[in-house]
Amino acid sequence: MSPRRASRTSPHQSGSKGGKGKERAPDREDTSHSGSDRSQSAAKSGHAHWTIEDEDFLIESIATNKAMAMMGDGQMFRPAFWTEVASKFPQPVRGKAKTADSCKEKWKRMKNTFDIVHLIASSSGLAYTLEKGADLRPDNQFVWDEIVKNTKGISKFKHKGWIHYEKMLTVVKSKSRG
């Protein structure tokens, strides 16, 4: 089975004819699956609906403006940054419009997902790939078993990767170095 690839164009780029994009789940903890059931429930529940392209745009916005957007302690983004990012999202077809708070919370969840996937990718004995996730084999199953005991949310990456890992690695790599 060939790997899924996200579109390299974003409906948020100027001059782009925005498309529907790949659908993502409502703005909640698990954003690894898509489906119209969740899209309709996002609209009814008042949650923002995030496509893969929306998530890419959020990552690109942070990567591009990281130095200017950070507060003095280097740990948090300024509130005005989130307002600016939210204002660049078009009015959604489904779900609620992106707000500064929804962008900030989405980034927080994406960072948490990154931390989980990075743990797999940097664990001795495991070989992480987008196509196969942790890529378990009989000789490394014990490593996986130990990590799963102590890491909430890791099991969904046992056999599949996370499409944003490489992009996120470039944005948060300073954290990865120590």
The pLDDT, as a whole number, for residue 47 is: 82
Contacts of 57 (CB under 8 A, 6+ apart): 10, 11, 12, 88, 89
Q: Tell me the pLDDT tens digit for each residue of 57-93.
A: 999 999 988 777 666 555 678 888 999 999 999 988 8
Contacts of 150 (CB under 8 A, 6+ apart): none
Domain ranges of the chain: 36-173
Indicate the pTM of the whole model.
Answer: 0.70
Indicate left, alpha or beta for 35 from its phi (over 0: left) and psi (-120 to 50: alpha): left
Q: What is the mean pLDDT of the chain?
A: 76
Calpha distance 93→38 (Å, rounded)? 14
The pLDDT, as a whole number, for residue 97 is: 94
Give the mean pLDDT of 8-28.
45
Look at residue 34 and tell me whether its pLDDT is greater than 60: no
